[in-house]
Amino acid sequence: MHAAAVAAIDIALWDLRSKALGVPVYDLLGGQTRDYARCYCHVQPPDGPGGDGQAGIDAMAGYAREQVAAGWRFVRFAAGEGSHAERDGVYEQPRALRWTVEAFSALRDALGPEVETCVDFHQRTTPAYAIQLARELAPMRPFFIEDPARAENPAAFARLRQHIAVPIATGEQIASKWEWRELIERDLIDYCRVDLCICGGLTEARKVAGWCETHYIEQVPHNPLGPVSTAACLHFDLATPLFGVQASQPAASQPGCMLLHRRASRACPLLPLTGPGHRRAGARPGHAGWPTDSRQLCQPRIEADREACHTEQPESPHTRAKSRRSVRRSARFRSRR
């Protein structure tokens, strides 16, 4: 909680300083290293798995084709999310392993070799099952596997490193540079999933990124939050030399947008993308700044609709999944009584 509170203040101070100096935040962070930040989207259908087993896999592959047709070149899905046991609220590793391999194979067949695919293990697997699953996925070349173990346990990552060759990403729950030390210095990961709103803001994240750069670890910032976090991530990405891809969630009305929910555009109206699957930034001061027409060039900063912020709550894929599981558990409890 302390690091998250520091992050909120830190991001606001970077924004204020950049406006006072009349330069975009990425200039203060060292300068622009790229023209845009490429993004990945989640390809599990937003309304649920769409059925058990093969039906769920087919639904996900169909949804993924739609996203790729809209311009996405990186996609991501969660291991075991569509297995029957997972939908009942119980995660069974053998069933989840089989479902994940079949789902990845279907995505590779549907999307072809040029679309990069990421798999999030969500820290649900034991090291033994993580090794099995990673080895099964390796011939299909995942861009990375995420959270095959809890990031707080570097010893587990050391064990994984000895047995698997696919790239590993982790770190979304780490709250300071000190907690990153062992993962970075022992070269236990390939992608750093720093969360700017958990890990002390842009100041601390920049320190972590510089440390990672000396170990060839690329940045893949975690961002299941709202438009302010998205804007901060964009400027971090543009100023970071060793950047991989940016986490995002497409809004139904804006293919390629990093907003988590289309209602968020009312609470804090961000500017749209100049192209699907990536974010661009303009040269305006502050965290805002990816103009696509002359009217947007006149907007000096992110503006929030306070009334909408109180009445409209953006929803992440994690909270939607938890809400569905909570409803199912409550129904089973009532039936037992």
Phi then psi for residue 42, to 5 deg, are -85, 135
Residue 268 DSSP class? S
Give the active site residue among 2, 84, 163, 222: 222
Torsion of CA 172, 273, 238, 27, to 10 degrees: -120
- What CA–CA distance (Å, rounded) separates 286 from 110? 40
- Contact 37/246 with Cβ under 8 angstroms? yes
Residue 41 DSSP class? E
- Contact 79/100 with Cβ under 8 angstroms? yes
Sign, CA torsion 254/257/261/266? negative
Give the distance between the most distant pair of CA atoms in the chain: 64
Annotated active-site residue 222? The verdict is yes
Give the active site residue among 2, 42, 84, 122: 122
Please state, in angstroms and as integers, the Cα–Cα distance from residue 175 to each residue in 27, 149, 215, following that order. 25, 17, 20
Helix/strand/coil percentages in the chain, nearest 5: 45, 10, 40
Annotated active-site residue 84? The verdict is no
**Strands 116-120, 74-78: pairing kind:** parallel
Residue 333 makes CB contacts below 8 A (sequence gap 6+) with none
Which residues carry out catalysis?
A: 122, 222
